[in-house]
Amino acid sequence: MRLLKYVAVDDCGTMINPMVVEGQIHGGIAHGIGNALTEEIVYDDAGQLVSGTLMDYALPRAIDVPRLEVHHVVTPSPLNPLGVKGAGEGGTLPTPAAIANAVADALRPLGVAITEMPLTRERLWRRAVARLTLAASVCYGRAAELTSAGGAPAPQRRAARTSDREVSHGTRSV
């Protein structure tokens, strides 16, 4: 899965230093991408941490961060004389939800539900294969059921279409 583009609109009130604000938002989005796609704390059956080093804990790389398009809405805060608000969390918090929604939307035709994070390639692949295997077994099971009952077997083509759906929606723009 590859993110093609990420668009963010942030309201941090009055921007004292727009370059710092931009950097905060970009860093927050990169952090959110890591939360959504790669970062996971893993323990073995004995409760021992197995993702305790950067060799085992996957952080997003520069290649994992898509082109970012950041826009600003400036609504000064009435709570301080400068009208400033926070800038860093605005990129971090909504990113995993936005990515999960895009992936869920892309996989909906396959009947794959998103129920846990991170959305690693392996985890998504296993869910898609399990769902397609289930769909194929239902179709083939129905064909065997009809044949044993003396009815006409279900067309083999139907099951093949179900299992041959393209999973090209994995590269959704977020």
Range of the domain at 120: 5-170
* Average confidence (pLDDT) over 108-123: 91
What CATH number should be reported for the domain holding residue 69? Answer: 3.30.365.10
What pLDDT is attached to residue 106?
92
Q: What is the mean pLDDT of the chain?
A: 81
Instruction: Write the pLDDT tens digit of every residue in 43-81.
Output: 999 999 999 888 888 889 999 999 999 999 999 999 999
Cut 0.85: pTM above it: no
* Pairwise CA distance, residues 4 & 156, whole Å: 37
The 3-class SS string of 90-121 reads HHHCHHHHHHHHHHHHHHHHHCCCCCCCCCCH
The DSSP code sequence of 70-85 is EEE-----TTSTT-B-
Q: How many domains does the chain have?
A: 1
Q: Is 33 helix (H, G, I), strand (E, B) or coil?
A: helix
pLDDT digits (tens, 9 = 90+) for 25-50: 999 999 999 999 999 999 999 999 99
Residue 22 confidence (pLDDT)? 93
